[in-house]
Amino acid sequence: MKKNNKKTAKPLWRKINRCSHRPPRTFMEKAHYNRSKKEDVSLKKKMSSNFNGYDLTPLFGYLRKNVGKKWNEVKSKALPRLPKEATNEELWEGVVYTLEELEEYKKNIQKNQYNVERIMVESKTFDESFLMHAGTFRSGDTSYFSSFYIDEEGLLQYVCPDLSPNDLEVYCPCCTWTFNGVVIKKKTTIEKEQEERIKEGL
């Protein structure tokens, strides 16, 4: 009998690796940790709680490798490699936008002055700041990933292709923050505030 030499495609998910990390210790660390989680929910769509049992990092890497290709084909090849309960449309919310969803998201932020202030980046226009903001999502507490949109030709594209780890805000020093798997090496919000307090003699 002939052996089937076809290789089975690797799953685009894995069991969550529950690495231990130092929990927030000081009052300031706890305050920033809680505030960052609250602001993330209010400002950006998060992965559905239905998928909290999975690490979908391989899926996000797969999407990055297929930028510029037809979205329908990319998606159809990805679905068989995902757990059955993680194949509905909620999976792509905040990860892959249609042009209409991206425009609607932008309008919602423009209606809320607080959100506009939150996303604004120094020396950037609103449109530039919005693309930087919409260009990422968080999976878990400390992992940022690139988000995507489907262009007029149905191709998968980065929302903000020039985004780098140094463009992102990190909140507290109790965890390691990453962007597409790369460690973000910059001062956290807490460390910046502590420096300001020292300068002011507080």
**Inside any domain, residue 3:** no
pLDDT of residue 170: 80
Helices (H), the chain: 27-43, 57-65, 71-78, 99-111, 113-119, 126-134, 189-199
**Inside any domain, residue 117:** yes
- Predicted confidence (pLDDT) per residue in 152-175, tens digit: 999 999 999 999 998 887 877 778
Name the average pLDDT for the chain: 79
pLDDT of residue 28: 40
**Inside any domain, residue 15:** no
**Inside any domain, residue 30:** yes
Count structural domains, the chain.
1
Provide the residue range defining the domain that includes 154.
26-40+55-199
Reported as a pLDDT band with limits 50, 70 and 90, residue 48 is very low
**Inside any domain, residue 4:** no
Length of the chain in terms of residues written: 202
- Predicted confidence (pLDDT) per residue in 13-25, tens digit: 887 755 444 444 4
